[in-house]
């Protein structure tokens, strides 16, 4: 066990190192430089560009820039090129804004997918299964931004509640209850949007896992013992079908930082995704690279947690 | 009569075919008797056994006709709840693959206890005692510790013993054993067979034993039913079948057994293979492979011919 | 036994080819057939679209601006009196309405269909090619080891290349020369056999090919994919081809894993061992014996990959990073129309539903294919 953890840590660190190099190269080898973003801007005089280049080590060779960048990142001194604010603080603020979306979305995804998927599998081929299947194809196929507009039109025209942004501007003087409802309305639509794809994919996956397990010999054994169908499905089959999903808990983690660029820009939600989008537009390399680095860390941590969880849940695996 | 299967037909619907897996078989099991169902793989043995407890997957499987009378009640007419009361409690089953037939995520103690709890109200202390007793009966050493083991921590033979313990949990009147030793090593096979025999002798329960291994049949069976392509080809006492086989198929099966008296000779084999249940030949299903086939075999489905007390064979040629 | 040899030929299951059987199974799935039909229609629309909307005087002009005719709802007739004869839409009617510049949305949708189609196919083509190549190598040659001297040579060569590209010609060409010399030396030593052995240390096995490729997959999987695509598309010059390449190069990992797993299990199979024992060459084994078995699951994931690629392109266009204007894509029609969502909802709904239908058809088709090829489902009927 300990050796497994150790080996996996070393491997993940090496991977992380290469990720940092690759992302650095992708950004810096692409044509164009941040100092040349807007040559017509009168603020970008040649002297300014020169000072800018010097200040952010852009005049040094790439590997020196790389070392400087990651030194700054690990000491927390890294600053945005756009406004000289600390990148980590910026990310943290945006992260707190994205967090509610993430939490509500994840809860929706996981609480809805399982009942739907299990029911589909048990009544395979029935009306419920077929409509759930078609609906999930529809939800997988619908472009997120299009669905967003459909929901906005529906909600705004039928319920007359504003949904753009995190809260309605100028509502400061109204009652506490109104403020809360306002917040919830603003939170709900983007969360539902963020969850739809996940619900569709996950419920299909639950269904196929469940079907796979229902065909196993031990389910037949359970029936042969005289167990009632509920116990057969929800104890013997479900317990086995759940194994792969336990490991998926780890894979939620990367979703923390991603946020959805498209959804956050449609709803003007000042979260991580929108910040990343703005950083890309402004060629603010420190922010792009830091977001990338943190998300790589989260992906690796997620797979690590998955592996560990798998060891814990499946009695067949012992190290 | 404990169990009487009468003219059972089980078909499996394909896309554009119907596989007649079991095509009108009848057999009886008396109290305390061991009955063997013998045949090559694919001849419908397992389907018949699963149908008794309503365990065939439906769809595509479908019972087309027949009765399964257990102590007078037709099991095929029972509703789901009635069937659950029979399963495990009155008729228990042991499957072919001990590896996959035990649930990998529960301890064997849990799985045995469950088999008892479905049908009886038992306190936790007594439950534990009964589980330990069961494991002791089937010859698993230090049962107290092994209750907490998971199936993957046991050997194949031990797992099959656990399956048998689960089947014995509620003292059923009938145990259906579907090739319980096929997946095991030869030495372990013998142990499991001995175990089944001794259990049967002490508890006087009936056993329906399904196998393709004639050696096993000779050892344990009181009566034998030889199946071919979904029908019963021949039935009778073990002695009748082994000493005086009347159906060409049975004769072929026996001739293909290696024996000490015919050392050095070439082993006999039956040419061809079992027909696809969806494309059975007309007439006697065995006629394409039969050395004695006559013209009428290709058209006429043969009737049972009696050769002696309870000894019947479905062959008009050897019947005369 | 001879007397009835012929009767041994009892009626058995009629033989069908694999492909035919697949088609039979596929035909059962009505949704998948629907997907296939829509796909064929979409394909024809896209091809006729690119013919009808391109050239000097296209039949449908997607770029024709008629400011006096802006934001007309679908199925309106143009005001003939205020239009120049050449400005009248070809069908005599605005089938899908007009946008804020009075351009015919029908013509723009036709043009956009081709973009969606090519982006989907080319991007997935790239990702499948890369995926099969990497996965095939990892699965088939994965157990080969790369030795230290290989790494050394590669390092010297790449250092030479870098130095040359930076501008120091002297040291760069020196490095390249040394590297080439090393390769020549290695080749010679291979041909001459044992005599010219290089020092033992250099022959230490460093890392297996399989490890390298699978670590590369891990590294690629660490990037948040849409964010990565967005970043790269924003950095490189905007063009349709760049988008295809970027989408293709960031989505090959799944195929690689697939093909590798398939190859790993296939190379243990008896028919591969038999082929090897007969002295069949590696490449013949790969392409003749193993690839046909591995290609089916790749096809399924490719079909679904096309759906994803179309969605990704639409998302990029929506954010303003897609195919540059004035070329119309379904994503940027929607993106342009979002400002008029309450006044001109058709500008949102027509491209939105278009994307939805096309992506849906690819998903249904792919899933149908997967079901037909899944032996487990086949057994259960």
Instruction: Give the end-to-end CA distance of chain C in Å, rounded to a whole number.
Output: 38
Phi, psi of C371 (to 5 degrees): -60, -45
What is the spatial distance between Cα B267 and Cα A245, in angstroms, rounded to a whole number?
54
pLDDT at C121: 92
Interface size, chain A vs chain B, as Cβ–Cβ contacts under 8 Å:
70
What is the spatial distance between Cα A31 and Cα A44, in angstroms, rounded to a whole number?
19
- Between residues C9 and B205, which one has the greater pLDDT? B205
Task: Output the furthest CA–CA distance in chain A (Å, rounded).
Answer: 85
The structure's pTM equals 0.80
Distance, CA of B99 to chain centre: 18
Query: pLDDT per residue over C195-214, tens digit each?
Result: 445 555 556 666 778 888 88
Q: Dig out the tokens for B304 from the structure.
A: 């049972």
Query: pLDDT per residue over C211-232, tens digit each?
Result: 888 888 888 888 888 888 888 8
Provide the pLDDT confidence category of residue C8 given band limits of 50, 70 and 90. very low
User: Closest Cα partner for A152 from B102, B166, C216, C339?
Assistant: C339
- Between residues C306 and A59, which one has the greater pLDDT? C306
Scanning every residue of chain B, which has its alpha carbon at the shortest distance from the alpha carbon of A228? B84
Closest-CA distance, B139 to chain C, in angstroms, reads: 37
What is the torsional sign of CA B30, B31, B33, B39? Answer: positive
From A218, A224, A316, residue closest to B88, measured CB to CB:
A224
User: Closest Cα partner for C327 from C123, C58, C66?
Assistant: C58
* Residue C376 pLDDT greater than 60, yes or no: no
DSSP letter for A206, please.
Answer: H
pLDDT at C130: 92
What average pLDDT does the structure give for chain A? Answer: 81
Q: Among A49-63, A226-240, B109-123, which is the least confidently predicted range?
A: A49-63
Closest-CA distance, A314 to chain C, in angstroms, reads: 23
Closest-CA distance, B18 to chain C, in angstroms, reads: 12
Closest-CA distance, A140 to chain C, in angstroms, reads: 8
Provide the pLDDT confidence category of residue C378 given band limits of 50, 70 and 90. very low
Interface size, chain B vs chain C, as Cβ–Cβ contacts under 8 Å:
41
* Buried b / exposed e along B252-291 (16+ C-beta atoms within 10 A): bbbeeeeeeeeeeeeeeebeeebbebbebbebbbbbbbbe
Residues of C in contact with B12 (CB under 8 A): 381
3-state secondary structure chain C: CHHHHHHHCCCCCCCCCHHHHHHHHHHHCHHHHHHHHHHHHHHHHHHHHHHHHCCCCCCCCCCCCCHHHCCCCCCECCCHHHCCHHHCCCCCCECCCECCCCCEHHHHHHHHHHHHHHHHHHHHHHHHHHHHHHHHHHHHCCCCEEEHHHHHHHHHHHHHHHHHHHCCHHHHHHHHHHHHHHHHHHHHHHHHHHHHCCCHHHHCEEEEHHHHHHHHHHHHHCCCHHHHHHHHHHHCCCCHHHHHHHHHHCCCHHHHHHHHHHHHHHCCCHHHHHHHHCCCCHHHHHHHHHHHHHHHHHHHHHHHHHHHHHHHHHHHHHHCCCCCCCCCCHHHHHHHHHHHCCCCCHHHHHHHHHHHHHHHHHHHHHHHHHHHHCHHHHHHC
User: Closest Cα partner for A219 from A207, A233, A208, A205?
Assistant: A233
Neighbouring subunits of C (3+ Cβ pairs under 8 A): A, B
pLDDT at C5: 41
**Is B121 strand, coil or helix?**
coil
Scanning every residue of chain A, which has its alpha carbon at the shortest distance from the alpha carbon of B50? A224
Residues of C in contact with A15 (CB under 8 A): 215, 218-219, 222
As a whole number, mean pLDDT of residues C292-310 equals 85
Cβ contacts of B161 within 8 Å, gap of 6 or more: B138, B139, B140, B192, B195
Closest-CA distance, C1 to chain A, in angstroms, reads: 42
Q: Give the H or E element holding residue B21.
A: strand B18-29
As a whole number, mean pLDDT of residues A273-302 equals 86
Taking the Cβ of residue C167 and every Cβ of chain A, the question of whether any pair is shorter than 8 Å is answered with: no
* Residue C292 pLDDT greater than 60, yes or no: yes
Interface size, chain A vs chain C, as Cβ–Cβ contacts under 8 Å:
120
Scanning every residue of chain C, which has its alpha carbon at the shortest distance from the alpha carbon of B15? C381
C10 and B275: CB-CB below 8 Å? yes
User: Closest Cα partner for C99 from C328, C288, C377, C367?
Assistant: C328
Provide the pLDDT confidence category of residue C17 given band limits of 50, 70 and 90. low
Alpha carbon distances (Å) from B156 to A261, B100, B190: 54, 10, 13
What is the spatial distance between Cα A101 and Cα A166, in angstroms, rounded to a whole number?
10
Scanning every residue of chain B, which has its alpha carbon at the shortest distance from the alpha carbon of C8? B288
Alpha carbon distances (Å) from A179 to A160, A170, A183, B225, C180: 16, 11, 6, 80, 72
Residue B296 and residue B307 in contact, taking contact as beta carbons nearer than 8 Å = no
Provide the pLDDT confidence category of residue A40 given band limits of 50, 70 and 90. low
Query: pLDDT per residue over C317-367, tens digit each?
Result: 888 887 777 788 888 888 888 888 778 888 888 899 999 999 999 988 888
Q: Dig out the tokens for C159 from the structure.
A: 């250092």
Taking the Cβ of residue C41 and every Cβ of chain A, the question of whether any pair is shorter than 8 Å is answered with: no
A316 and B104: CB-CB below 8 Å? yes
Taking the Cβ of residue C8 and every Cβ of chain B, the question of whether any pair is shorter than 8 Å is answered with: yes
Residues 302-321 of chain C with CB under 8 A from chain A are 307, 311, 314-315, 318-319
* Whether the complex's predicted ipTM surpasses the cut of 0.95: no
Closest-CA distance, A304 to chain B, in angstroms, reads: 22
C13 and B279: CB-CB below 8 Å? yes
What is the spatial distance between Cα A6 and Cα A170, in angstroms, rounded to a whole number?
54
3-state secondary structure C176-193: HHHHHHHHHHHHHHHHHH
Closest-CA distance, B309 to chain C, in angstroms, reads: 33
Do β-strands B206-211 and B174-178 pair in parallel, antiparallel, or remain unpaired?
A: parallel
Neighbouring subunits of A (3+ Cβ pairs under 8 A): B, C
Taking the Cβ of residue C224 and every Cβ of chain A, the question of whether any pair is shorter than 8 Å is answered with: yes
User: Closest Cα partner for B291 from C3, C217, A207?
Assistant: C3
Do β-strands B223-228 and B34-38 pair in parallel, antiparallel, or remain unpaired?
A: parallel
* Buried b / exposed e along A227-237 (16+ C-beta atoms within 10 A): beeebbbebbb
Residue B216 and residue B237 in contact, taking contact as beta carbons nearer than 8 Å = no
Closest-CA distance, C25 to chain B, in angstroms, reads: 9
Ramachandran sector of residue B7 (left: φ over 0; alpha: ψ -120 to 50; beta: rest) = left
A138 and C237: CB-CB below 8 Å? no
Residue B304 and residue B267 in contact, taking contact as beta carbons nearer than 8 Å = no
Residues of B in contact with A314 (CB under 8 A): 105
Residues of C in contact with B284 (CB under 8 A): none
Residues of B in contact with A225 (CB under 8 A): 87-88, 92, 114-115, 118, 166
Residue B235: strand pairing partners:
B225, B312
Please report, rounded to a whole number, the percentage of residues in chain A having pLDDT higher than 70.
87
What is the spatial distance between Cα A263 and Cα C65, in angstroms, rounded to a whole number?
31
Residues of A in contact with B119 (CB under 8 A): 226
* Residue C170 pLDDT greater than 90, yes or no: no
Residues of B in contact with A216 (CB under 8 A): 100
Query: pLDDT per residue over B20-56, tens digit each?
Result: 888 888 888 988 888 999 988 878 888 888 888 888 8
From B13, B59, B272, residue closest to C10, measured CB to CB:
B272
Scanning every residue of chain B, which has its alpha carbon at the shortest distance from the alpha carbon of C7? B288
Neighbouring subunits of B (3+ Cβ pairs under 8 A): A, C
What is the spatial distance between Cα B52 and Cα C57, in angstroms, rounded to a whole number?
77
Which of B56, B89, B91, B105 to mutate: most A Cβ within 10 Å? B105
């Amino acid at each position: 066990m300990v050796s497994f953890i150790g080996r996996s840590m070393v491997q993940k660190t090496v991977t992380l190192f290469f990720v940092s190099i690759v992302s650095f190269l992708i950004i810096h080898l692409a044509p164009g430089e941040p100092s040349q973003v807007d040559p017509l801007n009168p603020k970008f005089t040649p002297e300014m560009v020169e000072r800018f280049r010097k200040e952010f080590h852009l005049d040094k060779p790439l590997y020196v820039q790389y070392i400087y960048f990651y030194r700054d990142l690990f000491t927390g001194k890294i600053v945005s090129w756009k406004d000289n604010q600390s990148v980590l603080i910026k990310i943290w603020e945006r992260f707190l804004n994205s967090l509610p979306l993430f939490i509500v979305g994840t809860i929706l995804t996981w609480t809805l997918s399982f009942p739907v998927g299990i029911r589909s599998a048990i009544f395979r081929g029935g009306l419920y299964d077929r409509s759930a299947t078609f609906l999930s194809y529809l939800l997988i196929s619908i472009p997120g931004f299009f669905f967003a507009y459909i929901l906005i039109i529906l909600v705004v025209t039928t319920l007359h509640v504003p949904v753009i942004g995190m809260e309605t501007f100028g509502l400061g003087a109204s009652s506490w209850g109104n403020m809360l409802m306002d917040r919830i309305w603003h939170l709900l639509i983007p969360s539902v949007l963020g969850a739809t794809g996940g619900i569709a994919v996950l419920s299909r996956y639950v269904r196929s896992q469940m079907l796979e397990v229902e065909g196993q010999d031990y389910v037949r054994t359970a029936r042969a013992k005289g167990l009632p169908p509920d116990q057969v499905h929800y104890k013997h089959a479900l317990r086995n079908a759940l194994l792969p999903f336990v490991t998926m808990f780890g894979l939620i983690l990367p979703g923390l930082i991603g946020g959805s660029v498209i959804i956050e820009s449609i709803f003007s939600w000042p979260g991580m995704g929108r910040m990343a989008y703005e950083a890309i537009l402004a060629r603010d390399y420190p922010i792009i690279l830091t977001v990338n680095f943190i998300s790589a860390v989260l992906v690796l941590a997620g797979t690590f947690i998955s592996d560990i969880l798998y060891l814990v849940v499946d009695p067949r695996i012992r190290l | 009569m404990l169990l009487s299967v009468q003219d059972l037909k089980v078909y499996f619907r394909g896309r554009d075919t119907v596989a007649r897996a079991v095509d009108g078989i009848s057999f009886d099991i008396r109290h305390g008797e061991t009955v063997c169902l013998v045949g090559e793989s694919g001849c419908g043995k397992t389907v018949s056994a699963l149908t008794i407890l309503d365990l065939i997957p439906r769809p595509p499987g479908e019972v087309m006709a027949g009765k399964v009378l257990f102590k007078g009640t037709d099991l095929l007419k029972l509703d789901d709840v009635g069937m659950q009361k029979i399963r495990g409690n009155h008729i228990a089953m042991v499957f072919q693959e001990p590896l996959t037939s035990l649930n990998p995520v529960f301890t064997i103690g849990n799985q045995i206890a469950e088999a008892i709890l479905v049908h009886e109200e038992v306190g936790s202390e007594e439950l534990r005692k009964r589980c330990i007793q069961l494991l002791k009966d089937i010859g698993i050493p230090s049962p107290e510790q092994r209750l907490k083991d998971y199936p993957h921590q046991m050997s194949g033979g031990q797992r099959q013993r656990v399956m048998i313990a689960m089947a014995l949990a509620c003292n059923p009147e009938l145990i259906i054993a579907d090739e319980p030793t096929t997946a095991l090593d030869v030495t372990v096979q013998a142990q499991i067979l001995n175990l089944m025999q001794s259990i049967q002798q002490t508890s006087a329960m009936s056993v329906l034993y399904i196998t393709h291994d004639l050696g096993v049949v000779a050892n344990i069976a009181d009566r034998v039913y030889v199946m071919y392509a979904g029908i019963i080809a021949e039935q009778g006492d073990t002695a009748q079948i082994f000493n005086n086989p009347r159906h060409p198929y049975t004769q072929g099966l026996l001739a293909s057994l290696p024996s000490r008296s015919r050392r050095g000779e070439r082993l006999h084999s039956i040419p061809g293979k079992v027909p696809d249940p969806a494309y059975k030949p007309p007439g006697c299903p065995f006629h394409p492979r039969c050395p004695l086939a006559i013209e009428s075999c290709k058209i006429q489905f043969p009737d049972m011919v009696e050769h002696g007390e309870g000894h019947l064979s479905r062959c008009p040629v050897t019947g005369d | 036994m001879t007397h009835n040899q012929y009767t041994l030929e009892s009626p058995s299951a009629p033989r069908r080819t694999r492909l035919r059987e697949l088609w039979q199974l596929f035909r059962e799935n009505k949704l998948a057939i629907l997907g296939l039909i829509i796909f064929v229609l979409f394909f024809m629309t896209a091809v006729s679209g690119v013919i009808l909307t391109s050239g000097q005087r296209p039949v449908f002009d997607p770029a024709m601006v008629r400011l006096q005719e802006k934001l007309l709802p679908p199925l309106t007739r143009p005001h003939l009196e205020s239009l120049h004869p050449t400005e009248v839409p070809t069908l005599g009617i605005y089938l899908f309405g007009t946008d804020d510049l009075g351009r015919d949305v029908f013509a723009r949708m036709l043009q956009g269909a081709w973009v969606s189609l090519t982006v989907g196919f080319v991007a997935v083509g790239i990702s499948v090619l890369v995926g099969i190549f990497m996965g095939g190598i990892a699965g088939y040659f994965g157990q080969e080891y790369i030795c230290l001297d290989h790494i050394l040579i590669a390092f010297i060569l790449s250092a030479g290349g870098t130095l040359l590209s930076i501008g120091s010609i002297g040291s760069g060409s020196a490095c390249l020369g040394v590297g080439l010399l090393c390769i020549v030396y290695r080749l010679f030593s291979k041909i001459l056999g044992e005599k010219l052995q290089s020092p033992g240390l250099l022959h230490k096995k460093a890392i297996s090919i399989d490890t390298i490729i699978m670590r590369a997959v891990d590294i690629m999987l660490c990037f948040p994919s849409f964010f990565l695509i967005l970043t790269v598309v924003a950095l490189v010059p905007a063009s349709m081809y760049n988008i295809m390449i970027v989408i293709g190069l960031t989505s090959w990992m799944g195929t690689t894993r697939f093909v590798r797993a398939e190859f790993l299990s296939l190379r243990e199979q008896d028919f591969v061992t038999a082929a090897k024992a007969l002295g069949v060459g590696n490449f013949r084994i790969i392409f003749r014996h193993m690839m046909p078995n591995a290609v089916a699951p790749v096809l399924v994931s490719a079909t679904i990959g096309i759906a994803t690629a179309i969605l990704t392109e639409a998302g990029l266009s929506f954010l303003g990073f897609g195919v540059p204007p004035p070329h119309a894509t379904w994503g940027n029609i929607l993106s342009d129309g979002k400002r008029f969502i309450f006044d001109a909802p058709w500008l949102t709904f027509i491209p939105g539903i278009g994307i939805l239908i096309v992506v849906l058809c690819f998903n249904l088709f792919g899933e149908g294919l997967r079901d037909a090829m899944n032996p487990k489902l086949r057994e259960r009927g």
